[in-house]
Amino acid sequence: MSVIWRNRVIGLLFAVALYVVDQLLKSHVVDTLGMKLGDSREIVSFFNFTLTHNYGISLGMFQATSMEMRWILVAVTGLIALVVLVWMLREQVLGDILGLSLILGGALGNIHDRYNLGYVVDYADLHFGDFRPFLIFNVADAAITIGVVIILARSFLVREKAPNPDEQPAGKAAENGTHA
């Protein structure tokens, strides 16, 4: 197996592992802890499990207020996940692949919830006193955000090395009429 395909397989396995962890944590909050909508349990002084249902997408936007909207959100997010998968399978560098796998794994976790429940289970409540820097979220949301930041950072900060004209492959040198 080539290094490129090894990186892609690692990315796929990472996305699946993230999906599994996301679903296990959601199950723990809802089933094991038996939390109901609105329940809150302090984990540490600045972090609670607070169960909410998110009928929208990012930051609660585009609320699915009807069955049709629910299925439109499932279809649109499914299409986005498919685009991310294809993108990931075209990438070669592990850093790019891992950023995309975070987005893919997170998207799959939230799509699974929306498909089965009609909403996404959110529970992670980070706060500093009354200050909450984020809405209540879940592992999938965090992974998507981190993945997007990685992709953006790599696109702005990592530059591909420009090929050196003195280091042409032998075939190119022959085409140009020069000797290697």
Q: Which pair of structure tokens corresponds to residue 46?
A: 């600045």
Confidence category of residue 70, pLDDT binned at 50, 70, 90: very high
Residue 166 designated active-site: no
In a domain, 26, yes or no: yes
In a domain, 70, yes or no: yes
Catalytic residue among 22, 113, 122, 125: 122
Q: How far apart are CA 102 and CA 61, in angstroms?
A: 21
State residue 82's pLDDT score: 98
Catalytic residue among 96, 113, 125, 141: 141
Domain that holds residue 143: 3-158
Residue 141 designated active-site: yes
pLDDT digits (tens, 9 = 90+) for 165-180: 555 555 555 555 555 4
Q: How far apart are CA 93 and CA 154, in angstroms?
A: 11
In a domain, 177, yes or no: no
In a domain, 115, yes or no: yes
**Helix or strand or coil: residue 159?**
coil
* More confident site: 24 or 159: 24
- The whole-model pTM stands at 0.83
DSSP string, 89-111: HH--SHHHHHHHHHHHHHHHHHH
How many domains would you assign to the chain? 1
In the numeric block, the tokens 């992670």 are attached to 124
